[in-house]
Amino acid sequence: MARVVVDPEKCKGCELCLSFCPKGLLRVSTRMNSRGFHAVSLRDKRKCSGCAQCAMMCPDLAIEVYR
């Protein structure tokens, strides 16, 4: 099973990763980071295939995928 780690302090909530997740497992969190952005979080880690498309598309390198 893959593990997706989102650094909420690096995320600016651009939602680019949401568009590239083939399973639609990412969502915008209701919590704000210290910069005033709503960071992204993973909905269901059990369904993640670990494709890492979200991490590749993140312009701020806020997402890491471990397989």
- Tokens found for residue 56: 């590749």
- Tokens found for residue 55: 């991490």
Mean pLDDT across 34-62:
96
pLDDT in tens, 1-30: 799 999 999 999 999 999 999 999 999 999
pLDDT recorded at residue 40: 97
Every domain of the chain and the residues it spans = 3-66
Question: pTM of the full predicted structure?
Answer: 0.91
Say which CATH topology domain 3-66 has: Alpha-Beta Plaits (3.30.70)
Burial class, 31, CB count within 10 angstroms (exposed 0-12 / middle 13-18 / buried 19+): exposed
